[in-house]
Chain A
Amino acid sequence: MNSNFNTREPVYVQVIRYFKEQIAIGEIVAGEEIPSRRELAATLNINPNTAQKAYKEMEEQGLIHTERNFPSKITSDERILKSIRKELIFAAVESFVETIRPINVPIDELLQVVKEKYVNEGQEEETND
């Protein structure tokens, strides 16, 4: 994941997004223990203070919770977990729309291209596995 970091966006924000993606696709599940900030820093090759900041922010968003002297865990709050998927879809679409708008493509044509691209690339990935 190291080289995937964007140097112009706060790393802690990227770390939180990474966790949200992992939750959305089911790689990380409700109630699962998460690595310590040192482990996370070492795994993702980031500064430990940044890992700490990401966890603090996730704690505030209710994404993780920590009981004294225990490792932090992913929340089991269904409402929060469901909202993560929506949030990711919304954010991705928003940035896509922002990029495509200046090109002025009619919506039907656009949706057709999106559909072809999405379905075809999805299939390619499956055959690659």
Chain B
Amino acid sequence: MIEVKQISKKFGRKKILDGVSFTANKGEITCLIGINGVGKTTTLKAIMGLTPYSGDILIDNEKLTKHTYEKITFIPDAAIMLPQMTIKQAMEFMNDFYTVWNQDRADQMLEFFKLKLETRISELSKGNVAKVNLLMGLALDVDYILMDEPFSGIDMFSREQIADVFTSHLIEDRGVLITTHEISDIEHLIDKVVILDNGKVLKEFHTEDMRENEGKNVIDVMREVYRA
């Protein structure tokens, strides 16, 4: 489990995160939602140790150390590989760089997305860049995967294909934490929602429980909490 406990962060006088707490379980897809500029990406960066913060973050009950970082990977929303590389070269690079690289899963994802080894990163559409990023991240044998806006700014078919990964065996029983500002087309794919606004968590809930107990979808809840 990823436990974020009362983390805060300031840029100058502006509070970006103001006592943010939530959990993301293994075997579940947790979605950090909120409009732009509410601290979603900063939260992911804090979990990855890419930005200083106050408060505690625990991975499987351990504070962040070199060891815990071997359990997590972060997939940003921009191209992560050099543009002149082919997909094959990018995969070889990952294989050299990471001991947890799983070539078998990488090949399965390549097949799943129908990507070609000889294509250069610079030739990829935005949707295909997102798929390559996802491939690079998911092919690592880690327990937790963080993704920043995996669905934003890409075409409908790429979105559907990426969504298909979430329901497939490729995700296995790993914990996934994604950020998004557009929830409607992935609503039935996710387990849990954390609504963030102005650096604070407004609500944290499981989507099926919310449907079952209150008959509300995620948009209903967002409207409620933003209006309150």
Contacts and interface: CB of A to CB of B under 8 A. Distances in A.
Interface of A: 2, 5, 7-13, 38, 41-42, 45-50, 53
A97 B75 CA distance: 51
14 contacts: A7-B187, A7-B217, A7-B219, A9-B211, A9-B215, A10-B211, A10-B212, A41-B167, A42-B167, A45-B188, A46-B189, A47-B29, A48-B167, A49-B28
A7 B211 contact: yes
A47 B220 CA distance: 20
Contact of A47 (B191, B217, B218): B191
B211 to A, nearest CB: 4
B223 interface: no
Please provide the 3 A-B residue pairs with the shortest distance between their CB atoms, ordered closest to farther.
A7-B217, A41-B167, A10-B212
Chain B interface helix/strand/loop/mixed: helix
Nearest to A39: B169
A49 B191 contact: yes
A2 B216 CA distance: 18
B218 A7 contact: yes
B178 to A, nearest CB: 13
Contacts of A49: 27-28, 191
Interface residues of B, number: 24
A53 B211 CA distance: 14
Contacts, number: 54
A47 B173 CA distance: 12
B217 to A, nearest CB: 4
A42 B166 CA distance: 9
Contacts of A8: 211, 215-217, 220
Q: Report which residue of B166, B167, B190, B220 has the largest number of chain A beta carbons within 10 angstroms of its beta carbon.
A: B167
Contacts of B65: none
B208 interface: yes
A11 B166 contact: no
Q: Report which residue of B27, B164, B188, B215 has the largest number of chain A beta carbons within 10 angstroms of its beta carbon.
A: B188
B168 interface: yes
A7 B215 contact: no
Given A7-B217, A8-B217, A47 B188 contact: yes
Interface in B126-177: 163-164, 166-169, 171
A72 B218 CA distance: 32
Contacts of B189: 45-47
Contacts of A11: 188, 208, 211
A10 B188 CA distance: 9
